[in-house]
Structure 1
Amino acid sequence: MAGMASEGTQYDPRQFDSKMNAILGEEGEETFYTTIDEVCDSFDAMELRSDLLRGIYAYVMAGMASEGTQYDPRQFDSKMNAILGEEGEETFYTTIDEVCDSFDAMELRSDLLRGIYAYGFEKPSAIQQRGIIPFCKGLDVIQQAQSGTGKTATFCSGVLQQLDYTLVQCQALVLAPTRELAQQIEKVMRALGDYLGVKVHACVGGTSVREDQRILQSGVHVVVGTPGRVFDMLRRQSLRADAIKMFVLDEADEMLSRGFKDQIYDIFQLLPSKVQVGVFSATMPPEALEITRKFMNKPVRILVKRDELTLEGIKQFYVNVDKEEWKLETLCDLYETLAITQSVIFVNTRRKVDWLTDKMRSRDHTVSATHGDMDQNTRDIIMREFRSGSSRVLITTDLLARGIDVQQVSLVINFDLPTQPENYLHRIGRSGRFGRKGVAINFMTTDDERMLSDIQKFYNVVVEELPSNVADLL
């Protein structure tokens, strides 16, 4: 019936059933089927194995939320805690409620602080406020938060704080699911540790094994890598594990979903027994929980729920500038458009505010500038001028992103993309306030591609290339 219907005719299940029943009736097999009317409206009522239940909840909660809906860690946790409770593990975690709302209050090495500020961070994100200190204290840590909330800088800061720089041996090992992410972490670690003289190397597939061996033998403080290549280096004893005191799994859920579980276990077995473990993950599937049970000692759990974020009403574009040095020309080309309306230009460091302001003024473009090194009185005067409309273009940093309440601003330019996706909203949210429409233009070099991709995923938006008629959009 179903397969032989002539092309274009429709399979009719009722017609099929009447035929089938007639056939079954002729053969005296009306009772050919078993009938069961039992309906279970919850997985718990199905009397399934507890480990299967854990898997179902992890999969449904973490993986099956329809696109654009929000992963709710609390709901996931209540299920997971119920399971832990059954197994007598309610006290599995260590609780720490300490929150630091500035990097200065974290008692970090002064050269690490310099690196953090030079990289463009000015105020710690929610996860950094809670997560850096426990890691610096040497505690095992599980951090559950969406990508883009500043997890990478959290564990990089914790690692850099604890290294013994007089000992040029691998003391921290960081695993990531992909080559690109490992290389990104290496870049952040190196930048934050710039004034500490940290030696970092990325061990990833697709690169020369011999080159890896040469660099590892010459001595490094931190190795970042993918599980396959790292395990290979440990097996060959090119990477020695005896001085490793910190072990970090970044994007643990993605690593486990890619089938790296056995390799992660194999690597664990080769590390010293007292190693500090950090697990960073957007979700905590049962396999990740299993890792925490096997290898972690009463971890501190830090859970940051993503805010309900929206960028409605704001048109977002990017301009491909390829190289950093081409950004200035691109900005000058856009200046006539900027001056039609009021606009804010964001850069990542205070020094760059001064540099860009000088460059723009030397080309006879009128701009104002403000950043955290200026005294409050000067900043107030500049902001007053900007609010009154007597100055039309303002150059600033993230620190002031949340405080610029200017209704006339309808254009924001990210000369530098923010170092954390969550700051993107605070910057471009300026331009769409009070129901006004706004335009955001992001300058993108080849190094920025990953960050722009993270931003698009984080906010579930598409950022398109800037059209030529930008003035018509304002």
Structure 2
Amino acid sequence: MADGQGLDDIDAADIESNYDETIDSFDAMNLKTDLLRGIYAYGSKRPSAFQQHAIMPAIKGKDVVAQARSGSGTTAAVSISVLQRIDPDVEACQVLILAPTRERAHQIQKVIATIGGFTDIECYACIGGTRIGNDTKALQDGRQSVVIGTPGRVHDMIYRRALCTDNTKMIVLDEADTILSRGFAEQVHDIFGILCQSTTTQVVLFSATMSQDVLKIITEFTRNPVRITIEKYETCLKGVKHLFDLHKTITDRQAVIFCNTRGKVEWLTDKLAARDFAVSAIHRDMDAPQRNNSMKQFFSGSHVLVATNMLATTIDVQQVPLVINFDLPANPEDYIHRVGHGGGGRLGRKGIAINFVAANELRTMHGIEQFYGTRIEKMPTNAANLF
């Protein structure tokens, strides 16, 4: 068990991104020269949004849990991270990658071989449906620095002592939700149990969804993992862009922007401050003097206040004409507290509430509409017409 955190302690909030660092060029990643040559030869010019987040913590040896859709660049991210981590002087399996299918294992092997084409690193696909004798011979010679395989065959090779994991310092679980849903949970747990006996074994896990089986792996075998949920990150960045665009038309108006978590409040405040917004922040983890100072700044000149729900329930800002829900509240009851304190025309006051609604929040929005028996209208193209 990692860090005393049990499965019962994990919920959806625990897989929110906790890592904001981005490296937007391969040159800035301090990669090996031969690896960098391979990346450009592969045709990659600039890292994808996912790669900008995921590669650096992986090559630094941190455990990484990443939720990203197909097409985000996970295969190249795995390949680059693995190739950077390999010690060419060690003739043994240093990285083990588990894939859900033979086709996926071959795809990963091909990308690693291509990007690593200017290195001497060898990788081997260990998959079901092939002769066991061939795998045994290939693995026992110790020249395969990277082994990519399906869980059943890899499990078999480890227990036959054909695949030695004594020098394996990194294990990658690719498409974890798919692997675990295909009946490989027992083999995966056995493999992780063997490799993660060493506290230095790095775990990198990619999954499109976070099922209970995936969360169990995360709980049992990772240590303080870097968590990356790239779709939510991209949605947040789009939200920030909308704020910038909106600000052009309402620059003379004060606004309260609600986020659901302290981390989001701090992140958004930093983003707005970097774009020269007059912004202050408030959340429950601040002490009373800090909260009072933020409110004083807001009412004495800051045009934007970024806050959690605690502002909606404890502090009256009824004179503020605009409320923006950067995140929709998880509970419909909280919606009236937010817009009733500033926007939405509630309680006899004239004001505007603007909601940023991502595709995965449509159900939440419809729940709010149903709860209050109202309709949230689409914002007009010209926001200035709202006032």
**Please, what TM-score do these two structures have when normalized by structure 2?**
0.56
Q: Measure, in 2, the Cα distance between the counterparts of 1:139 and 1:119.
A: 26
Aligned counterpart for 2:225 among listed residues 279, 299, 306: 299
Q: Partner amino acid for 1:238?
A: A
Which runs of 5 or more residues in structure 1 are unaligned? 1-49, 55-78, 85-91, 309-474
Q: Partner amino acid for 2:213?
A: E
SS at match of 2:228: strand
Deviation at 1:94, TM superposition (A): 8.6
In the TM superposition, 1:238-249 aligns within 5 A as 238-249=162-173
How far does the alpha carbon of each residue in 1:201-251 deviate from its partner, in whole angstroms, 9 at most, with x for none?
Answer: 000001111111111122210000000000000000000010000000000
Whether the 8 Å CA contact 2:17–2:229 is kept in 1: the answer is no
In the TM superposition, 1:160-239 aligns within 5 A as 160-218=83-141, 219-239=143-163
Q: Measure, in 2, the Cα distance between the counterparts of 1:293 and 1:194.
A: 36
Q: Measure, in 1, the Cα distance between the counterparts of 2:27 and 2:139.
A: 34
Number of equivalences: 226
Q: Partner amino acid for 1:157?
A: I
Whether the 8 Å CA contact 1:156–1:188 is kept in 2: the answer is yes
Matched with 1:267 is 191
Q: Measure, in 1, the Cα distance between the counterparts of 2:81 and 2:175.
A: 17
Deviation at 1:93, TM superposition (A): 8.3
Name whichever of 95-104 and 157-166 sits farther off. Answer: 95-104
CA-atom RMSD in angstroms = 2.3
Matched with 1:132 is 55
Whether the 8 Å CA contact 1:93–1:298 is kept in 2: the answer is no
Q: Partner amino acid for 1:110?
A: T
Give the direction of change, closer, same or farther, for the CA distance of 1:303–1:93 in structure 2 (3 Å limit).
closer
Give the direction of change, closer, same or farther, for the CA distance of 1:213–1:231 in structure 2 (3 Å limit).
same
Q: Measure, in 1, the Cα distance between the counterparts of 2:166 and 2:81.
A: 20
SS at match of 1:248: strand
Q: Partner amino acid for 1:267?
A: I
Q: Measure, in 1, the Cα distance between the counterparts of 2:44 and 2:101.
A: 25
Matched with 2:179 is 255
Q: Partner amino acid for 2:44?
A: F
In the TM superposition, 1:319-398 aligns within 5 A as none
| Larger Cα-atom Rg | 1
Deviation at 1:184, TM superposition (A): 0.4
Deviation at 1:145, TM superposition (A): 0.6
Q: Partner amino acid for 1:247?
A: I
Q: Measure, in 2, the Cα distance between the counterparts of 1:137 and 1:93.
A: 21
Q: Measure, in 2, the Cα distance between the counterparts of 1:213 and 1:300.
A: 35
Q: Measure, in 1, the Cα distance between the counterparts of 2:139 and 2:224.
A: 32
Aligned counterpart for 1:100 among listed residues 23, 28, 41: 23
Identity of aligned residues (%): 49
Q: Measure, in 1, the Cα distance between the counterparts of 2:36 and 2:27.
A: 7
Deviation at 1:51, TM superposition (A): 8.3
SS at match of 1:302: strand
Deviation at 1:303, TM superposition (A): 1.1
Q: Measure, in 2, the Cα distance between the counterparts of 1:305 and 1:265.
A: 28
Flag as ranges the 4+ runs of structure 1 deviating above 3 A: 92-95
Q: Partner amino acid for 1:108?
A: L
Deviation at 1:260, TM superposition (A): 0.8
Whether the 8 Å CA contact 1:94–1:299 is kept in 2: the answer is no
**Please, what TM-score do these two structures have when normalized by structure 1?**
0.46
Deviation at 1:96, TM superposition (A): 2.8
